[in-house]
Amino acid sequence: MESRRSFSTGTDHTRERFEFAAVAGYGLMVIRSLRRHPALFLAVWLGVVALTAAGLAVLPRTYDVQTTLQVARSTPSTAVVSKTAQRELDAPTRIAAATVHRHENLISLVRQTDLLKRWNLHRAPLLKLKDGLWARLFRAPTEQEREEGFVGLLEKRIWVDATPDTVSIGIHFPDPDLAFDLVQAALQNFLEARRTAEISSIEETITILEGRSAEAHEAVETALADMAKARSDRATRLGLHPRATVSGSLDRPVDKAGAQLITDVQARRQQIAALEDARRRRMLELQTQLEEQRAVYSDSHPEVTRLEQDVEALRREPSELQALRKDLGTLEKELRQRGLLADVPLGSKRVRSLSSAAALEPLDPREEEDPDVAYAKAQVRHALARYNGLLDRIDAARLERDNAQAAFKRRYVLIHPPQRPNGPVKPRVALVLLASTVAGAILGLFAPSLVDLVSRRLVEAWQVEQVLGVPLLGEVSER
């Protein structure tokens, strides 16, 4: 029993020594195979690195650009805007994603960045080859179809991250220059959309109040006419000689059409002022960037040249601004023909009449005893109070609008401007090249050994002992 136990233990030790010797033999074979086939090792190693570099050159890359805005809450007066509009103004970040991904905004981004023409300028060679094959196999898409295709692409690639106090806009895109331009344009469009939304809510309130004030003006005129008639009827009944009355008409009556024209002129002036302000801010940003780049690079550097071209293009008045000026000129001409242009030198003047108050002064000390006259006077007072109240609300709304325009710059602060990417985020070129170098070295290390094994030649001493089953007595070197 003991002899069997000792025999099996000896067998296990022998097997372990044999396995260790086999592993050591294979390891030595790998090292000696490098000496026998050094060219194969270098070919495999450099081949893997070269194939990886070629793949990096033809495969598409992804660049990341983002920007962050800090947003302060706005609390307009509830007497000026509705509660629904106020909730929207209180939390503008909640609708940031919907604003950026709106279909009209994405179309504007495609056109602003000239994406249809610039798409193929820096496209990866492999994707260009794919585009060429598709062009041969299928019908070429129309310009409108391409535009809609890019809209869908931007909807997937542009991302928006909104918190209660910040809005971040970014994109993952294969072209670094286009990625930068798209994020910058998306940022400007978002700011303009917020400016329009915040000011338009107050403008809509002003428009509604203007319409109500026109109706209230007509009510005052009607009440004054009824009061004059009541006085005349009383004088006729009592056989009194009617006295001259003070004119009870308001100084400058404006009908509904005139009020709408005045509102349109105000809106056009506000739009022109907003566009001009945006142009001034953009010009200041570009000039600042140009000075910074000139301090680092020469005037012939591509970045300096591009910024100079952007500044020169911005100096030209955009077609949208020209159309607004032309539209404003037409509206002002119509107001001038109506004699109402003086009412809107700054879009805020309204003439109040004191003659209506004078018309309420009694012509006869005892006319208040007549119920018809007393009722007519009460109606005039009520109509005047309503009319003056509407005028006060219009003035308050215009003041709120002016304050909102002045506070817009302080409300939206750019804390992380968009920057041109230094390199792709996918693939990581340095990391991929390092991995290919290591992988190529490992493959090159085992390739010579694999060649020796496949050749079925006995190149190691342990191979002779393993195949023939006899111990090797010695080795003779070949000279």
Identify the residue whose tokens are 């294969």.
174
182 belongs to a structural domain: no
- Return the pLDDT at 73: 66
222 belongs to a structural domain: no
Q: Is the dihedral of CA 451, 452, 457, 462 positive or negative?
A: negative
Q: Is the dihedral of CA 422, 426, 431, 432 positive or negative?
A: negative
Query: Could you give the CA distance from residue 115 to residue 81 in angstroms, rounded to a whole number?
Result: 39
Average pLDDT score, the chain: 75
Establish whether the linkage from the previous residue to 448 is cis, with ω within 30° of 0: no
The pTM score is 0.54
Q: Please, which pLDDT band fits residue 344 given cuts at 50, 70 and 90?
A: very low
20 belongs to a structural domain: yes
Between these two residues, 107 and 353, which has the higher pLDDT value? 107
The DSSP line for 433-468 is HHHHHHHHHHHHHHHHHHHHHHTT---SHHHHHHHH
Between these two residues, 474 and 196, which has the higher pLDDT value? 196
pLDDT of 59 higher than 80: no
157 belongs to a structural domain: no
- The DSSP letter of residue 472 is -
Query: Could you give the CA distance from residue 216 to residue 208 in angstroms, rounded to a whole number?
Result: 12
- Return the pLDDT at 76: 52
By C-alpha distance, which of 46, 80, 70 is closest to 164?
A: 70
Contacts of 283 by beta carbon, 8 Å cutoff, 6+ apart: 311, 314, 315
By C-alpha distance, which of 329, 367, 141 is closest to 245?
A: 367
16 belongs to a structural domain: yes
- Least confident stretch, 18-32, 140-154, 391-405: 18-32
- Return the pLDDT at 304: 81
Query: Could you give the CA distance from residue 325 to residue 317 in angstroms, rounded to a whole number?
Result: 11
pLDDT in tens, 78-126: 445 555 555 555 556 778 888 899 999 999 999 988 888 888 887 777 7
pLDDT in tens, 391-442: 888 888 888 877 777 777 778 888 888 998 888 888 877 888 888 888 888 8
17 belongs to a structural domain: yes
Between these two residues, 380 and 167, which has the higher pLDDT value? 167
Q: Please, which pLDDT band fits residue 157 given cuts at 50, 70 and 90?
A: very high
Tell me how many domains the chain contains: 1
Q: Which two tokens stand for residue 9?
A: 């233990």
Q: Other C-beta atoms within 10 Å of 255: how many?
A: 13
pLDDT of 180 higher than 90: yes
Taking residues 17-29, report their average pLDDT.
Answer: 59
pLDDT of 167 higher than 80: yes
338 belongs to a structural domain: no
Q: Other C-beta atoms within 10 Å of 364: how many?
A: 15
437 belongs to a structural domain: yes
- Return the pLDDT at 4: 43
pLDDT of 350 higher than 60: no
Separation in Å, CA 375 to CA 227, 231, 322, 380, 473: 8, 11, 55, 9, 139
pLDDT of 168 higher than 90: yes
- The DSSP letter of residue 340 is -
Q: Please, which pLDDT band fits residue 292 given cuts at 50, 70 and 90?
A: confident
- Return the pLDDT at 1: 40
Query: Could you give the CA distance from residue 384 to residue 88 in angstroms, rounded to a whole number?
Result: 34
Segment of 219-223, 444-448, 457-461 carrying the highest mean pLDDT: 219-223
Q: Other C-beta atoms within 10 Å of 3: how many?
A: 7
Q: Which two tokens stand for residue 255?
A: 């009908």
Query: Which residues constitute the domain of residue 43?
Result: 2-58+429-468
